[in-house]
Amino acid sequence: MLKTLNPFLTLGEKLGSMQAQLSYEIPKELRITYVGDLNDLPHEPVGIAVIKGFCSRISDTEVNYVNARLVADQHGLNILEISKRHPSEYTNSLTVAVKYPNGEERSLTGVKFAEGDIRLTRYNEKVINIEPEGNMLIIRNKDVPGVVGVIGTLLGEAGVNIANLRLARSKEAGSAMTIVTTDQVVDDAARERLQAQENIISVKFVQL
């Protein structure tokens, strides 16, 4: 059972950590949705893994599986857990969403594939398929020619090697998201150069 559950624990902690690192303030709600086959497993530890991943990034306290819910409560974080038996895309998925006091929301969805392979498959409505690992740049950009080339050039000039890259186009015309995993940390100076480009809207960096 533990061997089956372990990839979901890893996925949950990474999605929680990503949400915390992407947050500009502590959200009022952390919503965890278990979909499909995941409901056939004891998913309470998965929820705790999500909370641990999130709270480890916002708290000075060392967060573990025992105190994670307490730390969340101390930070005023409301935890909502939802089970959905009928999957819409994959046989299993885990969605971690945050909601801020101003009503803004952000959701991340991950899936466990065969042999414990875990992927980030959605960022809000954008379809992505990339391993959530290491150094990750999340770039919102205009959907115009040349943006990926600019990203590659600027990272190369900064001595940063691209390990993986996924481009997700939005249903809204002209908007896209580029997620890049790199072998090196992308420092502030490199991120500022990316952010200064005309066709790049925002640049976020997370480490998993």
Comma-separated ranges of CATH 3.30.1330.90 domains in the chain: 2-130
pLDDT digits (tens, 9 = 90+) for 9-45: 999 999 999 999 999 999 999 999 999 989 988 989 9
As a whole number of angstroms, the distance between CA 34 and CA 53 comes to 17
Question: Predicted confidence band at 103 (pLDDT cuts at 50, 70, 90)?
Answer: very high
Looking at domain 2-130, its CATH class is: alpha beta
pLDDT digits (tens, 9 = 90+) for 33-92: 999 989 988 989 999 999 999 999 999 999 999 999 999 999 999 999 999 988 778 889
pLDDT digits (tens, 9 = 90+) for 186-199: 999 999 999 999 99
User: Which amino acid makes up residue 60?
Assistant: D
Q: Are 162 and 150 in contact (CB under 8 A)?
A: no
Task: Please provide the DSSP assignment of 49-73 as one string.
Answer: HHHHHHHHHH-SSPP-TTTHHHHHH
As a whole number of angstroms, the distance between CA 185 and CA 208 comes to 11
Q: Tell me which fold the domain 135-207 belongs to.
A: Alpha-Beta Plaits (3.30.70)
Question: Predicted confidence band at 169 (pLDDT cuts at 50, 70, 90)?
Answer: confident
As a whole number of angstroms, the distance between CA 198 and CA 201 comes to 8
For residue 181, pLDDT over 90 is answered with: yes
Rounded to two decimals, what is the model's pTM?
0.94
For residue 183, pLDDT over 80 is answered with: yes
Question: Predicted confidence band at 112 (pLDDT cuts at 50, 70, 90)?
Answer: very high
Looking at residue 114, its pLDDT comes to: 83
Spell out the residues 6+ positions from residue 62 whose beta carbon is closer than 8 angstroms to its own.
none
Q: Percent of the chain, pLDDT > 90?
A: 87
DSSP state of 17: H
Looking at residue 171, its pLDDT comes to: 67
For residue 152, pLDDT over 80 is answered with: yes
For residue 1, pLDDT over 70 is answered with: no
Beta strands in the chain (DSSP E): 29-36, 78-84, 92-99, 105-112, 118-123, 126-130, 135-142, 162-169, 175-182, 200-207
Q: Residues 13-34, buried b or exposed e (16+ Cβ, 10 A)?
A: bbbbbbbbbbeeebbeebbbbb
In 3D, which of 195, 154, 197, 46 has the Cα closest to residue 110? 46
Average pLDDT, stretch 179-184?
Answer: 98
In 3D, which of 131, 17, 110, 27 has the Cα closest to residue 75? 27
As a whole number of angstroms, the distance between CA 74 and CA 59 comes to 10
Q: What is the mean pLDDT of the chain?
A: 95
Place of tokens 């530890």: 45
As a whole number of angstroms, the distance between CA 167 and CA 17 comes to 22
Looking at residue 198, its pLDDT comes to: 96
Query: What does residue 191 show for φ and ψ, rounded to 5 degrees?
Result: -65, -35
Looking at residue 89, its pLDDT comes to: 83
For residue 5, pLDDT over 70 is answered with: yes
